[in-house]
Amino acid sequence: MDFNVKKLASDAGIFFTRAIQFTGEKFGQVEKTELDAHFENLLSRADSTKNWTEKIFRQTEVLLQPNPSSRIEEFLYEKLDRTVPSRPNNEELLGHYMQDAAKDFGPGTPYGSTLIKVGDCERRLGSVQREFLQTSAISFLTPLRNFLEGDWRTISKERRLLENRRLDLDSCKARLKKAKLAESKAAAVPDFQETRPRNYVLSASASALWSEEVDKAEHELRVAQTEFDRQAEVTRLLLEGISSTHVNHLRCLHEFVEAQTAYYKQCHLHMQDLQKELDRFPNAFAGNPGHSMASGGSSPLDPEVQAPATGTRKAKVLYDYDAADTSELSLLADELITVYTVPGMDSDWLVGERGNQKGKVPVTYLELLS
């Protein structure tokens, strides 16, 4: 217990001494050992690397996980060394909702069948995103975190030790300077007219004491200089290792770009496939003639479903269709009707006949047979 108290008191004394010395350096009241220009450049480069790596790391986390609550949860699970519970991401959740809605609306309806296709694509996009996030976390985020929590902490620790060694060295220099000044004063020639003989003895004794003090201060300075040089070399080697860190982070950056490229490429392919599938389904606005007429345009049709220029043809109804007004004809899936076109009619529509019933019908709901 006594040892701990003494050590605590000693550490407190050293702390206050260094604090006073550091304050004196800031105000230019005491001398300070300066590091060479190369060493200062290494320190500046290391600080810049740490600051930018931290910013890139934080922003990449935001990019990969925009939800701050989820980031906090992942951080806590990581610190507790536990696996983060698997939850559907936004794309997967949207896909589930769309497919559940299709079941409610009816998978056989145009809207329901389209919801199924789009929902399936969203789920695949969510799966691709999940793979991208995992790859990016391993290949890019983890190396950056390892640098900040590992290498940089080691560098910071050695830099603090170097600063302490420098303060000790400067303190030894100050003590030696003070001892030499006192020794020179003690060795000064006394005034024979005003100085008593007894003072010659006292002056010689003081001179010897200060000579011993100078020797002791010189020894402490040599020890402090050796420790400072050794710590400076250790710190310098760690700082020069920042170049290797840059090379490693460059490789990780290439892997991150490759992961992003693969992710966006797969998303693009999935969306292209979805677009091709939707092109084989009825146009979303086919049941709304007002939209087609107002837009004045027509949707491109596959060659096999183009309306005939003249004459009548048989057509099979692909999907149920409810007439929007009295000018249209309601349809039932799988029934056969007769269709033809009239001059000036929009190419998305044909005239359909079923018995004595007649009305406009959307071409994309039909399979023309002859």
CB of 96 closer than 8 Å to CB of 113: no
Residue 1 maps to a domain: no
Residue of 357, 318, 315 whose CA lies nearest to 339: 315
Residue 106 maps to a domain: yes
Judge if 267 and 328 occupy the same domain.
no
Judge if 256 and 139 occupy the same domain.
yes
Residue 348 has pLDDT above 60, yes or no: yes
- Return all residues near 37 (Cβ < 8 A) that are at least 6 apart: none
Task: Answer positive or negative: Cα dihedral of 184, 187, 190, 195.
Answer: positive
Residue 83 has pLDDT above 80, yes or no: no
Give helix 152-186 / helix 2-26 axis angle, nearest 10°.
80
Residue 191 has pLDDT above 60, yes or no: no
Tokens representing residue 173 in the block = 């220099």
* Mean pLDDT value across residues 79-101: 85
CB of 182 closer than 8 Å to CB of 162: no
pLDDT band per the 50, 70, 90 thresholds, residue 190:
low
Judge if 182 and 59 occupy the same domain.
yes
Judge if 231 and 276 occupy the same domain.
yes
Count the domains in the chain: 2
Residue 4 maps to a domain: no
Say how far apart CA 168 and CA 32 lie, in whole Å: 11
| Per-residue pLDDT tens over the stretch 276-317 | 888 775 554 444 444 443 344 433 333 333 444 457 889 999
Judge if 231 and 341 occupy the same domain.
no
Residue 72 has pLDDT above 90, yes or no: no
| Per-residue pLDDT tens over the stretch 206-225 | 667 778 888 888 999 999 99
Note down the domain range covering 229.
31-188+213-280
Q: How far is CA 249 from CA 16, 26, 84, 141, 145, in A?
A: 41, 36, 26, 10, 11
Judge if 331 and 229 occupy the same domain.
no
Judge if 324 and 229 occupy the same domain.
no
CB of 85 closer than 8 Å to CB of 76: no
Residue of 345, 215, 260, 302 whose CA lies nearest to 63: 260
pLDDT band per the 50, 70, 90 thresholds, residue 49:
very high
Judge if 220 and 346 occupy the same domain.
no
pLDDT at site 359: 92
Query: Within 13 A of 154's CA, how many CA atoms are on the CB side?
Result: 12
Q: 225, 260, 280 — which closes off a domain? A: 280
Residue 81 maps to a domain: yes
Q: 264, 280, 296 — which closes off a domain? A: 280
pLDDT at site 157: 96
Judge if 276 and 347 occupy the same domain.
no
Residue 141 maps to a domain: yes
Residue 135 has pLDDT above 90, yes or no: yes
Residue 328 maps to a domain: yes
pLDDT at site 155: 96
Q: How far is CA 306 from CA 276, 284, 323, 342, in A?
A: 18, 18, 21, 14
The domain that holds 167 is classified in CATH as 1.20.1270.60
pLDDT at site 13: 56
Judge if 349 and 222 occupy the same domain.
no
pLDDT at site 227: 95
Lowest mean pLDDT among 62-76, 147-161, 319-333: 62-76
Please report the DSSP string for 268-297 in residue order. HHHHHHHHHHHHTSPPTTTT-HHHHHHH--
CB of 291 closer than 8 Å to CB of 311: no
Residue 146 has pLDDT above 50, yes or no: yes
Judge if 346 and 219 occupy the same domain.
no
Buried-state track 172-208, b at ≥16 Cβ within 10 A, e below 16 = bbbbbeebbebbeebeeeeeeeeeeeeeeeebeebbe
The domain that holds 354 is classified in CATH as 2.30.30.40
pLDDT at site 9: 56
Give helix 37-64 / helix 110-136 axis angle, nearest 10°.
160
Q: 280, 299, 326 — which closes off a domain? A: 280
Residue 25 maps to a domain: no
Judge if 145 and 72 occupy the same domain.
yes
Residue 266 maps to a domain: yes
